[in-house]
Amino acid sequence: MLRSRTNLHPYRVAFWAFALLILALALLDRHPIDLAAEDELSEGSWAPRRGRGDTAVILATEPPAGQATYGYAWVDLIEQEIGPVSALPVDELGAEVYQSFKTLILTADAASTQTAQSQVEALERFSAGGGTLLIELPQGPLRQTFGADGRGGWRQARSITAATGLEPDNLESLGRLPLLVPFKGSTEPRAHAETLLAMDGAPVIYAMRRGEGAVIVADADFGQLLTLIQRGASGPHGQVQQRISGRPPLASDLVSDLSLQGEEVPLADLLERYLVHHVLSFQHPVFALWPVPNGARGALVLSHSASSLDGRPLWRSMHERTLRARTPTFVPAPQSDRLDQAHHWRDEPGHAAFLWHPYPDEAELYQTWNLFGFTPLRRPLPLTEQRDRLSAWLGSNASIQGIRSAEGLWHQEHDAPWRAMDAAGLAYSASLGPSGQLQPGILFGTCQPFRATDSRGRPLRLFEVPICFEHPSDPDSIGQFQAALERAGQEGWAIHLHMNTDGIRSKDDLAASSAWHEALVYAERHQLWIGGPGELAAFRRQRSEAELKVRNWSVQTTMADGRPRVVEFIVEAATQHRGTHLVIPAQLGELRFDSVHRGEAAAQRPAMADRVATTPAQLLGRDVRLLQLHPGFTTVSIRFTR
């Protein structure tokens, strides 16, 4: 009765139910329900670190929550310029530390602690006994004992105006370094101190000889300066300040100062090298491990990105392999999790690295759930799932170590991408670099690996290797890149070039490919090291694990006036890898490098047979000699004569 009145036949109900279902599915297919997905984030570690070298960086103990410290930049700096380094919390400062190390760096955070300030006498004894002590922003008793009066207050300098020992060309470059932190001014210079570095004419780094050692004071937070330049600057609470609103943050939004646009010199590297090879070597020579593999005079670091998996995305890496370089090509995860695609380049997964889409919805990277051919439900793929999908697609031989954030995209939280990459167990990232509207150039002051840190300044395991030149295609950027590469070959810098490996579709691509081609030819001809960021990061890690200690030094003979005539240094080095070279200064004040002999006994009875060959090189305008270290333990005596 009811059915006939309302015409509610069962097939009619079924029809409309089916129609509604299809309609609902079609609507959901066009506007699917997006489930939330979060990236897992790791935390930095403040654990003490014992390296097998002569230098220790004294850091504050665990920084208070919500506060950032910058002392780790000194650890990174020593690791880059010397190799082995120790990072110790200030409460470990004691007799054992004074005996174990020849150089101590008291970072600003550590120097502000009561523990450090209560160690003034011990620190005096350490320097008088032959140690080199660098104190950053000394306070209280430390300032009274070692520093200038500091009564000038905080001052913001415009540029570095003097750097003792630095040749004019490099000084001019250093003068372009953006001074993002103030320095502590004084009303008068410290008595008997030699100014090593001045900002706007005021001494900022000065040194005093104490007994056989020296005390060096830095009246600016160089750790913070280097951190801001290399890791980028962000706003309050670690929020990235976008230069153009209305789009996701870019890595180039982290660039600390726009004056770095078009820069051809790695200014942060230049400052670091100056701090080690001119400042820390004020009293005693600094023996270091050469920063480029195989003792090459410079490095051309190459990485590539492909926007899709089609075609031959690895073609540039495959060619570079013929030059004995293992360079990565960052490729994205496939949009589908079907693994039936067959590409011949999957036989070469060793070159593939991971191009991460931090905003997977924009790249259509979803985990989907299907019904009747419709997709009503989906979830954006977080970093680890993108990586896993790429690994599965590449096959069992894939071992993804490197990552790059696609299109230079970043996150609102400054440290979030690095922490996500670190949590995924990746070894290095090549995400910082030119992107967006900024002019190309060495925007982060370095092209060399540095350890990424979280927003509190704690180091992660991940290395960041910033890109300095991105697919240069117009004459200006090609010219800048070529000038930077030429300079890298002359002064031992690394230049990181990143190329797009999508097909050559335009005149710009042709020009960029020609620039890449010429760079490879130049690097080969000038014997630069060619490799990938992962290789360089691995070399950096190997160097830091090596041993490098000056066991002893002695004056063998003296002049009539008592000045030393022949000085011998016994240096112990141990490495497990090939391609490591010891850097020996060619000049020690009035003394010149004479020879290197194998073994300790050679110091007393040098024989021609024990003599080891060295090759000349230049480091920041100074002559040095390079000694090849073979895997294993090496003891050499290095002789300087007048």
Residues 19-38 that bind another protein (CB under 8 A): 19
Q: What angle do CA 187, 190, 196 make, to 5 degrees?
A: 105
Nearer to another protein, 14 or 95 (CB): 14
Query: Using the rule CB under 8 A, which residue among 1, 5, 6, 7 binds another protein?
Result: 7
User: Position 246: which residue type?
Assistant: G
Query: Using the rule CB under 8 A, which residue among 64, 94, 311, 475 binds another protein?
Result: 311
Q: Where does 73-156 show beta strands of DSSP type E? A: 86-89, 103-106, 132-136, 153-155
Q: Transcribe 511-555 into DSSP letters.
A: HHHHHHHHHHHHHHHTT-EEE-HHHHHHHHHHHHHSEEEEEEEEE
Query: Using the rule CB under 8 A, which residue among 252, 501, 575, 637 binds another protein?
Result: 501
Min separation Cβ 256 and another protein, Å: 36
Give the tokens for residue 306: 């492909």
- What mask, x for binding another protein by CB under 8 A, covers residues 398 to 437? ----------------------------------------
Stretch that binds another protein, among 195-203, 310-318, 442-450, 527-535 (CB under 8 A): 310-318
**Largest interatomic CA distance in the chain:** 130
Stretch that binds another protein, among 223-231, 421-429, 498-506, 578-586 (CB under 8 A): 498-506
Tell me the C-alpha distance between 131 and 215, whole Å: 8
Query: Using the rule CB under 8 A, which residue among 187, 308, 514, 618 binds another protein?
Result: 514
Q: Each residue of 16-25: b (16+ CB within 10 Å) or e?
A: eeeeeeeeeb
Query: Using the rule CB under 8 A, which residue among 237, 247, 505, 605 binds another protein?
Result: 505
Stretch that binds another protein, among 8-16, 169-177, 360-368, 468-476 (CB under 8 A): 8-16
Tell me the C-alpha distance between 290 and 543, whole Å: 9
Min separation Cβ 311 and another protein, Å: 5
Decide: is 369 part of the binding site for another protein (CB under 8 A).
no
Query: Using the rule CB under 8 A, which residue among 5, 31, 507, 605 binds another protein?
Result: 507
Decide: is 168 part of the binding site for another protein (CB under 8 A).
no
Helix, coil or strand: residue 577? coil
Decide: is 316 part of the binding site for another protein (CB under 8 A).
yes
Nearer to another protein, 371 or 504 (CB): 504
Asked whether 283 and 214 are in contact (CB, 8 A), the reply is yes
Stretch that binds another protein, among 26-34, 308-316, 387-395, 599-607 (CB under 8 A): 308-316
Which among 350, 356, 355, 346 has a CA at the least distance from the CA of 399? 350
Which among 537, 464, 453 has a CA at the least distance from the CA of 44? 453
Tell me the C-alpha distance between 628 and 318, whole Å: 29
| Strand 564-575 with 547-558, pairing | antiparallel
Residues 528-587 that bind another protein (CB under 8 A): none
| Other C-beta atoms lying within 10 Å of the C-beta of residue 322 | 8
Min separation Cβ 12 and another protein, Å: 5
- What mask, x for binding another protein by CB under 8 A, covers residues 262 to 301? ----------------------------------------
Query: Using the rule CB under 8 A, which residue among 1, 2, 5, 11 binds another protein?
Result: 11
| Three-state SS annotation for 230-292 | HHCCCCHHHECCCCCCCCCCEHHHHCCCHHHCCCCCCHHHHHHHHHHHHHCCCCCCCCEECCC
Min separation Cβ 20 and another protein, Å: 12
Min separation Cβ 343 and another protein, Å: 11
Query: Using the rule CB under 8 A, which residue among 510, 555, 559, 613 binds another protein?
Result: 510
**What contacts 511, CB < 8 A, 6 or more positions away?**
473, 474, 478
Q: Transcribe 95-106 into DSSP letters.
A: HHHHHH-SEEEE
Nearer to another protein, 345 or 356 (CB): 345
Query: Using the rule CB under 8 A, which residue among 52, 319, 565, 622 binds another protein?
Result: 319
Min separation Cβ 470 and another protein, Å: 18
Query: Using the rule CB under 8 A, which residue among 50, 158, 324, 517 binds another protein?
Result: 517
**What contacts 595, CB < 8 A, 6 or more positions away?**
606, 611, 638, 639
Decide: is 6 part of the binding site for another protein (CB under 8 A).
no
Decide: is 308 part of the binding site for another protein (CB under 8 A).
no
Which among 477, 559, 561 has a CA at the least distance from the CA of 519? 477
Min separation Cβ 110 and another protein, Å: 51
Stretch that binds another protein, among 6-14, 75-83, 440-448, 537-545 (CB under 8 A): 6-14
Decide: is 504 part of the binding site for another protein (CB under 8 A).
yes
- How many residues form the binding site for another protein (CB under 8 A)? 23
Nearer to another protein, 7 or 396 (CB): 7
Residues 581-620 that bind another protein (CB under 8 A): none
Q: Where does 326-453 show beta strands of DSSP type E? A: 329-332, 352-356, 366-371, 374-380, 402-405, 428-429, 450-453
Asked whether 519 and 323 are in contact (CB, 8 A), the reply is no
Decide: is 372 part of the binding site for another protein (CB under 8 A).
no
Min separation Cβ 342 and another protein, Å: 11
Helices (H) then strands (E): counts for the chain: 17, 33
| Three-state SS annotation for 156-215 | CCCCEEEECCCCHHHHHHHCCCCCCCCEEECCCCCCCCEEEEEECCEEEEEEEEECCEEE
Q: List residues near another protein by CB under 8 A.
A: 7, 9, 11-12, 15-16, 19, 311-312, 315-316, 318-319, 501, 503-507, 510, 513-514, 517
